[in-house]
Amino acid sequence: MLNLERLRTLDALARHGSVSGAAEALHVTTSAVSQQLGKLEREVGQQLLAKNGRGVRLTDAGRLLSEHAARILSQVELAQSDLEAHRGQVVGELRLSAFPTAARGLFPTALAALRARHPALRVRSCELEPENGVAGVVRGDLDLAVVLDWYNKPMPVPDGLVKAPLLDDPADVAMPAGHRHAERAEVDLGEFADDEWITWGEGEFCHEWLIFTLRSRGVEPIVGHRAAETHTQLGLVASGLGVCIAPRLGRHPVPPGVVMVPLTQRVRRQVYVVWRADADRRPSIRAAVQALRMAAETVG
C-alpha cells in the first residue's frame, strides 16, 4: 500500500528538482524528505533516486512513480474538494498570493471580509510576481493567485487552471513635477524616447511588457533604474531620476513631486484570479473569489 505523504514528497522533489526545494515547498527539513523517500524506495522495492553531482535525480522508476503520484494527488484534491462541497462549509486552510500592488489594493479588504464571514477558515497570503503565483498554483503550493494580463500582452495560463476576472486597472505615466510633459492632459509613449525609464526587474513579466510596448511605439528604452515595488519606483521619479508606468491599483499615496499623466493609448492591465480546476467546487475557493471581487468593486 503506497503511503500518500511519501508520494507527496516524491511529487515535490519531481516538481522542484532537488531535496532542498522539496523540503522548502513542504515546510519540512531536508532530512525528513530524505527519510520519506528512503521509506518509499523500500516500499516499492526499487531505486527511485540516483546521485547527480552534489544533488540527486529521479531514476526511470522514480519518474514513472512521480507521474502516477501527480495524478493520485490530483484525485485526492478532487475528492477533498467534493467532500468540502458536499459539507458546504467554508473551513480549513486557504493559501493565496498576489502581485504587490494587488496585495496592497485588494487583500486588506478581501481578507478582512473572509475572516469576518468565515471565522473557521484560516487564510495564508503572500506577495508573489504573477508568473511565480501561477507556478505556485500549478505546483499545489498555493490555492489561488491574483495575477494580470497587460492589454497587449497576455500572460500564459497553463491548462488545468480556472480564471475569473477581478478588474481592469488603468495605468498612467509618472513623471517629476518639472518634466516637460507634466502639464499635459495626455501623453503618448512615443514621446519618451529621450527619457530614462524606471522599471521592474530583468525578466519579470511587467518589465518584459514595458520593453515590448515601448519598442512597438518606436522607442528603444533607456533603462536607468529597476525596482520591484511601485512606491520605490515613484520615490525615484520624485527625485527626478526618470519616468515610470504607474498602474492605479495600490499606488496611493503618490509622493510629492510626482505627476500622473494619462496615456492616449489607454493602457490597462486586466487583473484576475486563478485556481486549479480540480479544486473548483471547494466552498473556500468560491468564498475567496467572491471576497476578491467585492474588494475589486470598491477599488473601481
- Cα–Cα dist 110/35, whole Å: 40
Phi/psi class of residue 143: alpha, beta or left (left: φ > 0; alpha: ψ in -120 to 50)?
Answer: alpha
What's the Cα-to-Cα distance from 189 to each of 128, 194, 238, rounded to whole Å? 28, 11, 19
pLDDT at 141 (0 to 100):
84
DSSP state of 243: B
| Per-residue model confidence (pLDDT) at position 25 | 76
Give strand pairing partners of 122.
Answer: 93
Q: What pLDDT, on the 0 to 100 scale, is given for residue 89?
A: 78
| CB-CB neighbours of 73 under 10 Å | 18
Distance CA 102, CA 108 (A): 10
Which residue type is seen at 272? Y
**Tens digit of pLDDT for each residue in 90-109?**
888 899 999 999 999 999 99
Q: Hey, what's the cell of 125? A: 497570503
DSSP assignment of 249-282, as one string? TT-PSPPTTEEEEEBTT--EEEEEEEEEGGGTT-
Q: What crossing angle do the helices spanning 30-44 and 4-16 adopt, rounded to 10°?
A: 120
Containing H/E element for 123?
A: strand 121-127
CA angle 102, 103, 105 (to 5 degrees): 60
Q: 194-207 burial string, b = 16+ CB within 10 Å, else e?
A: ebbbbbbeeebbbb
> For residues 277 and 162, is the Cβ–Cβ distance under 8 A?
yes
Nearest C-alpha neighbor of 102 from the set 297, 298, 272, 287: 272
HEC letters along 151-209 = CCECCCCCCCEEEEEEEEEEEEEEEECCCCCCCCCCECHHHHCCCEEEECCCCCHHHHH
In this prediction, residue 172 carries a pLDDT of 96
Confidence at residue 300, expressed as pLDDT on a 0 to 100 scale = 62
Q: Give Cα 290 to chain centroid, integer Å.
A: 18
CB neighbours of 171 closer than 8 A, spacing ≥ 6? 245, 246, 247, 248, 263, 267, 268, 269
- Is the distance from CB of 59 to CB of 14 less than 8 angstroms? no
User: Residue 237 corresponds to which amino acid?
Assistant: V
pLDDT < 70 positions in the chain: 81, 84-87, 300
Pick left, alpha or beta for residue 224 (phi over 0 → left; psi -120 to 50 → alpha; otherwise beta): alpha
